[in-house]
Amino acid sequence: MRTVYLLMLLVLAISALACWGKERAAYTLLQVGQHMFEGEREEVSVGQIGAGLRRGVSRHERRVTPLMKKKVAARYGWRCACGCGEQLSFDYHVDHILPLWKGGSNNEENLQPLNPPHHLSKTSLENQRA
Ligand SMILES: [Zn+2]
């Protein structure tokens, strides 16, 4: 049950960050967590735990439909948008070019497909600049 273990760690980290007043970091971690558990049953519990936190941090709904995800990938020729030129992996992420917490929207123009490792580095970079 590796997934459950990971989930518990993630929830602990999010709670700790939230307690220390680092809501932005907690929110980003939450987003990463939701990507990690996308398509799995556990996503529901991550979403529920984070719901209250998210309400306090962002007025925006984070909602990208599977169809929108495909359209975004097609627009980029099914290649990672970070500039690496790699073909998208089966588990590619849809990234908000301007993060939601910085006022970015869920419009298609603000979305780009990224391979998971490249998405994670972008997210941690954004956190450092925040
Ligand atoms: Zn890339």
How far, in Å, CA of 22 to CA of 96, rounded? Answer: 21
89 within domain boundaries:
yes
Does residue 122 fall inside a structural domain? yes
Residue 117 pLDDT level (bands cut at 50, 70, 90):
very high
Q: How far is the CA of 49 from the centre of ligand 1 (A)?
A: 30
Number of structural domains, the chain? 1
Domain residues for 120? 63-130
| 10-19, 21-30, 118-127 — most confident range | 118-127
Reading the block at residue 92, the tokens are 């590619």
Span from the CA of 17 to the centroid of ligand 1 (angstroms): 28
CA of 103 relative to ligand 1 center, distance in Å: 24
* Distance in Å, CA 87 to ligand 1 centroid: 8
> Is 86 among the domain residues?
yes
